[in-house]
Amino acid sequence: MPKVSVIVPVYNCEKYIDKCARSLFEQTLDDIEYIFVNDCTPDNSMLILENIIKEYPYRTNSIKILNHTINTGQSGARRDGMAIATGDYIIHCDSDDWVDVTMYEEMYNIAVANDVDAVCCDMLMEFTSGSERLHYNSEYNDHQLMYDCIAPITVVYMSMCNRLVSRKIFEHHEIIPFEGVNMWDDVGLAVRIRYYIQSTSVVNKPFYHYNRINETSTTCRPVIGRIKEQIECVRYLEDFFIAHNSFGRYEKFLAYLKILSKVDMFTNDYIKDWLNCFSESNDYIFRLPILKVHFGKRFVFLMWLVAKLGICGWFLIDNARVIKKAIKRIFDSLLLLFYCIYG
């Protein structure tokens, strides 16, 4: 039985699959199972991958390739990859990202030494202009960190790519990606995993390189499609907590998720949808200090104003400059009239 199974969905990544695959095959941990899921990629990603595999003959027997007959999206690719994973621990890797060569060995050794259900690490966001490190807070236990809204819900806390998880957790609790939810599929998995795991270790090393250059990735799709999947993910999670009689305990956390899932609708085109979607969460806008950390005080105030005043609040925000100029003109006219009468 392999120590670690790495699941890699492959779709439209011909520019990046070379770097990704080499970083995986050159891992210092020998006993790894690689599962590549070809999600009907229309480019040359699979051809490039197959050529790279030939350069690493000692990894050949550790590689599984699944070929989808229809495109299922990232959630479907991950689900099918997880179904055939046999490693003691499971981790994911996106095919446009890459990892440090010691990542899986170090994380696996920590998992075994500390006898924990999961191990998490820091990340590096890779831009054309440079890198930005995302630090994983290790001062609190992982359950408290998230459900008590201590840390903002960002990629470093929600990604399944910097989180090595015992396969037993997935199998015993039947945790699989939500069907059709490709945006926030990580969130759907990470939230449910946290509900069940008993222990997590954190290694504050930025092993995982998160590619922010690739404009064809899931996170760069049209906004409205992304928003709908985020909202659907939160609905599934709300049902999950209700089914486990835990809604009251995690109501505040769910409110945070609801606000985040719809925040991209806080625009002129979708402001009515923003007001109506998860309207019950609007009462939490000023009651969740973490929102100020996530968005800043000004943006939180604007959301609160619109939540309280509705469309009128949005009108004030959207026309603030015009209103300010109009007030100034009125004041100047009154001042001129005053001088004409009394001057």
Question: pLDDT of 200-259, one tens digit each?
Answer: 999 999 999 999 986 555 555 547 888 999 999 999 999 999 999 999 999 999 999 999
Reduced to 3 states (helix: H, G, I; strand: E, B; else coil), residue 136 is coil
Specify whether 248 is located in the same domain as 167. Answer: no
* Residue 311 Cα distances to 260, 278, 299, 319, 326, angstroms: 20, 16, 16, 12, 20
Specify whether 16 is located in the same domain as 125. Answer: yes
- Assess whether pLDDT exceeds 80 at residue 195: yes
Give 288-323 as a DSSP string: -HHHHHHH-HHHHHHHHHHHHHTHHHHHHHHTHHHH
pTM of the full predicted structure? Answer: 0.88
Task: State residue 151's pLDDT score.
Answer: 82
pLDDT-derived band at 327, boundaries 50, 70, 90: very low
Specify whether 214 is located in the same domain as 234. Answer: no
d(CA 74, CA 178): 11
d(CA 49, CA 64): 12
The answer to the question of residue 335 being in a domain is no
Specify whether 50 is located in the same domain as 145. Answer: yes
Specify whether 154 is located in the same domain as 234. Answer: no
Boundary of a domain, candidates 220, 237, 258: 220
Specify whether 231 is located in the same domain as 194. Answer: no
Task: State residue 323's pLDDT score.
Answer: 47
Domain limits at 285?
223-320
| Pairing between β-strand 118-127 and β-strand 200-211 as defined by DSSP bridges | parallel
The answer to the question of residue 159 being in a domain is yes
Return the CATH number at 94.
3.90.550.10
d(CA 10, CA 303): 38
Specify whether 66 is located in the same domain as 197. Answer: yes
Number of domains in the chain: 2
Specify whether 37 is located in the same domain as 136. Answer: yes
Q: Which pLDDT tens digit goes with each residue over 139-183?
A: 888 888 888 888 888 999 999 999 999 999 999 999 999 998 999
The answer to the question of residue 325 being in a domain is no
Percentage with pLDDT > 90 across the chain: 74
Number of other residues whose CB lies within 10 A of the CB of residue 49: 23
Q: Which pLDDT tens digit goes with each residue over 77-123?
A: 999 999 999 999 999 999 999 999 999 999 999 999 999 999 999 99
Strands, E assignment, the chain: 4-10, 32-38, 63-67, 89-92, 98-99, 118-127, 130-134, 163-166, 200-211
Task: State residue 305's pLDDT score.
Answer: 87
Specify whether 90 is located in the same domain as 13. Answer: yes
Specify whether 81 is located in the same domain as 135. Answer: yes
318 phi, psi to nearest 5 deg: -70, -25
Specify whether 207 is located in the same domain as 284. Answer: no
